[in-house]
Amino acid sequence: MIKKQNELKKFWKIRGMGAALTAFIGLIVIYIAFGLINPMVFSGQNILNLLRSMSKYLLIGVAQSCVMITGNIDLSLGSLVGMSAMIVATLMVSGVPVIAAIFITLLCGIAIGILNGLLVGKFKLPPFIATLGTMFVARGIAYMVNNNRNTDNIGIKLGKGSADAFQQFFYYGKTAGIYNTFWISLILFIAFFFLLSKTRTGRHIYAIGSNVEASKLSGVDVVRTTIKTYIFSSVCAVIVGFILCAQAGMGNMEAGNMYEMYGVAAGVIGGVSPLGGSGLLLGTFAGAAVWQTLENGLNMIGAQVGIQRIVIGIIVVLAVLMDVVIRSGKKIKIANKSTK
């Protein structure tokens, strides 16, 4: 019994757990509230849809959270989604086999990630500016891939079978009764969760976000860690691009517009500090779920798009405001203690 209590206490004490659990509680409250207004929210099909559509926010959220934990930001994520949707679609339309198309697109995304990492890590550009630049570049590439046109009908050359397999794998297919999209994002989520909490690279990601100078002096390779992190975030964005491409059956030049900000929102709602050094991906999970539940729920109760945006905006600010208030209270306590 005592041991169990200790375990529970330990669990609570993990840094960032408080914020993550708060976000989960918020999620449950919101979900139940919507369900009471419209019971359809509780229906099995809606839950499945909810899980599927939150997947892209979850992936982008994980991507942005990793970068935010290093104390940086990646504004190019949304453009990367569009770029990879366009590249993968265009490759398939021109007859490149699905697997190869996926592989090439991933490499393109990784190239952008390395570029971001070099600009921020090695050349010390402010991350906001560096990734603002790559944001425009990536979107520009999305436009140029097919001469300023969306790429329609991805199955046209490969035949229906291949295109179907792609769409099934990334969007329409189910495994164990749940859409593949959710499984993909869940697997990646677990992989990144593991990476951040259990590996050396993960430790370094937190460390450089907390104090770059101290990390450098401790022998952490800051440039490499930064580049790695941007590669991780790019890979996530590319996969979201696949998902959107599979969903629509085409490549859309505007796909993923604003997603980088959705990623920030998901992370921040879940307690990831945009200043770096702290936050749990568990929180990001809750954040992405809150985001999607709000969108879904407001939709189901028939709220206008405008209202949806306003509510979401308020929630983001409230989540951080709460954190700031709690933190400043804590700080005063600590200050009192240490001056004593």
DSSP 36-65: HH-GGGGSHHHHHHHHHHHHHHHHHHHHHH
Site membership for another protein, residue 278 (CB under 8 A): yes
Residue 76 beta carbon to another protein: minimum distance, rounded to whole angstroms? 26
Does 336 sit near another protein (CB under 8 A)? yes
Name which of 9 and 160 has its Cβ closer to another protein: 9
Q: 49 or 211: whose CB is closer to another protein?
A: 211
Three-point CA angle 87, 66, 58, nearest 5°: 65
Shortest distance (Å) from residue 281 CB to another protein: 15
Q: Which is nearer to another protein, 43 or 199 (CB)?
A: 199
User: Which residues ranging from 54 to 93 are in contact with another protein (CB under 8 A)?
Assistant: none
In whole angstroms, give the CA distance from residue 30 to residue 151: 38
Per-residue string for binding with another protein, 315-334, x by CB under 8 A? -------------------x
Contacts 24+ apart (CB under 8 A), 118-122: 118/223, 118/227, 120/72, 120/226, 120/230, 121/222, 121/223, 121/224, 121/225, 121/226, 121/227, 122/223, 122/227
Q: Which is nearer to another protein, 246 or 281 (CB)?
A: 281
Over the window 235 to 274, marking each residue x when it contacts another protein by CB under 8 A and - when it does not, the resulting string is ----------------------------------------
How many residues of this chain interact with another protein, rule: CB under 8 A? 30
Site string for another protein, 184-223 (x = CB under 8 A): ----------x---xxx-xxx-xx-xxx-xxxxxxxx---
Asked if 3 touches another protein (CB under 8 A), the answer is no
CB 97 within 8 A of CB 158: yes
Helices and strands, number each (H, E), in the chain: 14, 2
Supply the minimum distance, in Å, between the C-beta of residue 15 and another protein. 6
Q: Is 179 helix (H, G, I), strand (E, B) or coil?
A: strand
CB atoms < 10 A from the CB of 330, how many?
10
Q: Enumerate residues 6+ apart whose C-beta is below 8 A from 282.
A: 16, 17, 20, 193, 270
Closest distance to another protein from the beta carbon of 202 (Å): 8
Of 332, 265, 210, nearest to 324 by C-alpha is 332
Contact residues for another protein, defined by CB under 8 A: 13, 15, 194, 198-200, 202-204, 206-207, 209-211, 213-220, 277-278, 334, 336-340
